[in-house]
Amino acid sequence: MKQLDLSLYVVLDPVLCRAHSMVETARLAVAGGATVIQLRDKDASTEALVEVGQELKYVLEGTGVPLIVNDDMEAAIAIGADGLHLGQDDMPVSDARWMIGAEMILGLSVETEEAMRAVDSSIVDYVGVGPVFGTPTKPDHKPPIGLDGLARIVALSPVPTVAIGGLKAEHVAPVRAAGADGLAVVSAVCGQRDPEGAARLFMV
């Protein structure tokens, strides 16, 4: 099992990050305590993702904070990212693991107890569980599972878990009480006037 601190997992959104840019938002978020950075841009080409990803790698160098790329395996490999995150509708995780090798972190989104029971800890390093609450940053998300649903799904996980979906600093305690190892956030940090200060609010 790879060592991974999921305490505050910041997902970069190109629209929300316009005020500071994704790279500057990442730098500030890490200064405030973010422990993982994910590059997510559904509309960007692989080439564009690689360009931003290489800048992010430079900014994160020496911080110990891993860079995870959402969905685009080709970009993750080209960037030399620390990890790849896949959804249930993306390629099978077994295929992804074969292609990215044993060293790269592999994460998977899980929305149901059934999906969690299918997680193979020899392939997947962590799972993102949610959406806990509804969120406008991912309008096509599945129905919110709530904190009770989070607890039920997390209890079945063979790997570390990070909760996602409409989470704010006030949810740190209840999410931890539900058994998750951390919180993944988008708008609560990315797009805030002070991303560093916003990240610090989660450090309780």
Catalytic annotation present for 157: no
Instruction: Compute CA 136 distance to the chain's CA centroid, rounded to the nearest angstrom.
Output: 16
Cα–Cα dist 78/172, whole Å: 34
Contact indicator for 191, 17 with CB cutoff of 8 Å: yes
Of 27, 109, 157, 200, the active-site residue reads 109
CB–CB of 14/39 below 8 Å?
no
For residue 45, indicate whether it is catalytic: no
The alpha helices in 32-164, defined as continuous H runs, are 46-60, 73-79, 93-100, 113-117, 146-154
Q: Would residue 40 show up in a list of annotated catalytic residues for this protein? A: yes
Of the candidates 40, 97, 157, 200, the residue annotated as catalytic is: 40
Catalytic residue among 42, 94, 97, 138: 138
Half-sphere exposure of 3 (CA within 13 A, CB side): 2
Query: Known catalytic residues?
Result: 40, 109, 138
